[in-house]
Amino acid sequence: MDTITLLQPDDWHAHLRDGLALQRTVPDLAKQFARAICMPNLVPPVKTVDEALAYRQRILAHVPENIQFDPRMVLYFTDQTSPEEVSKIKASAFVDAIKLYPAGATTNSDNGVSDIRKVYAVIEQLEEQQVPLLLHGEVTHSHIDIFDREKRYLDEVLAPLLRQFPKLKLVLEHITTSEAAHFVLEHDRNVAATITPQHLLFNRNDMLVGGIKPHFYCLPILKRQTHQQTLLEVATSGNPKFFLGTDSAPHSKNAKENACGCAGCYSAPTAIELYAQAFDQVGKIERLEGFASQFGADFYGLPRNTNHITLVKDTQVIPESLSYLDGEQIIPLYAGQTIPWRKV
């Protein structure tokens, strides 16, 4: 298949940052996706519906003319989040969920939940009102191997949580392991997962063999090829519990290429083409539309998009770098390399 037409896709997990960064990130994302779940881990974090709506207006100010883009907002879950805030989310036209970062798990997560048992009163309201809980599913204890942190989270935190709240509507974000994929498969339709392009296209060998490649460093970290293969299988299976979430995250070249480089891959400008590449590599390109354009909207209870996009099998070269902030650069995923699909 050399051409495929899809309902316009959505990104159910993206980082846009704030301030000057929006000049780069919003146009890149809006040219690819009709809607995006905009992560709340700003500095300071987006903790209330009022703050989320103000952030949404800052995002909308950078949407290019003649492009329709609907930022979907999320609150940052802290130890101090009030159960009453859940009702405000439920009543909002633009805020869809709450995001739980275990404290210290990833970029700007220091204000995250320190112990999930402390916030059971809020989670009880999430379950009752069917407001989605989005989870960065890793434990953060320093003695636990970084490649095991997702699995340990499933066993030690998530399984007990779902026993306590079996009807909780939950998205396990950016899954990276076979164990996470099987965990989602074993639960009811109220449990879903997003998968990134980097975890479909790469594994830890790509990051580590022949020297450390800092632009492949993200959290959760790339895993073994066997895990990558399982992610490809579930993403391309047509199962509506798995849908698109890029986790695209802008970091300047200087912040990535140093002795303590930060975590995140920037895929926004060509994300749908990268997903097409992954699906095509396993002969399942015809299943891309469900994963990219239907299942996420269905899970969130939003209407599917009505506009369409077309992808053609025609090579394009990813730029070596992109301008960012004031004179800095971002190195995008696949920088300088040729990819086989192009959005027209």
**Catalytic residue numbers, as ranges:** 247
Q: What is the DSSP string of 10-37?
A: -EEEE---SGGGHHHHHHHHHTT-SEEE
Q: Is residue 136 annotated as involved in ligand binding?
A: yes
Q: Is residue 16 annotated as involved in ligand binding?
A: yes
CA-closest candidate to residue 98, choices 75, 79, 121: 75
Q: What is the H or E stretch that residue 309 is in?
A: strand 308-312
The 8-class DSSP code of residue 113 comes to B
Q: Is residue 17 annotated as involved in ligand binding?
A: yes
- Residues 344 and 338: their CA atoms lie apart, in Å, by 16
Q: Is residue 167 annotated as involved in ligand binding?
A: no
Cα 305 to the chain's mean position, in Å? 19
Q: Is residue 66 annotated as involved in ligand binding?
A: no
Question: How many CB atoms within 10 Å of residue 121?
Answer: 11
Tokens of 13: 């997990």
- Residues 118 and 157: their CA atoms lie apart, in Å, by 13
- Residues 7 and 226: their CA atoms lie apart, in Å, by 31
- Residues 92 and 132: their CA atoms lie apart, in Å, by 13
Q: Is residue 13 annotated as involved in ligand binding?
A: yes
- Residues 78 and 69: their CA atoms lie apart, in Å, by 28
- Residues 222 and 201: their CA atoms lie apart, in Å, by 10
Q: Is residue 298 annotated as involved in ligand binding?
A: no
CA-closest candidate to residue 126, choices 155, 89, 173: 89
CA-closest candidate to residue 184, choices 233, 112, 116, 119: 233
Q: Is residue 115 annotated as involved in ligand binding?
A: no
Q: Is residue 15 annotated as involved in ligand binding?
A: yes
Q: What is the DSSP string of 87-104?
A: HHHHH-SSEEEEEEPBTT
The helix-helix angle for 84-91 and 49-60 (nearest 10°) equals 40
Check if the beta carbon of residue 123 is closer than 8 Å to that of residue 115. no
Instruction: Give the residue carrying structure tokens 């699906």.
Output: 279
Tokens of 21: 């960064």
Q: Is residue 219 annotated as involved in ligand binding?
A: yes
Q: Is residue 99 annotated as involved in ligand binding?
A: yes
Binding site for substrate: which residues?
15-17, 41, 136, 219, 251, 263
- Annotated binding-site residue numbers: 13, 15-17, 41, 99, 136, 174, 219, 247, 251, 263
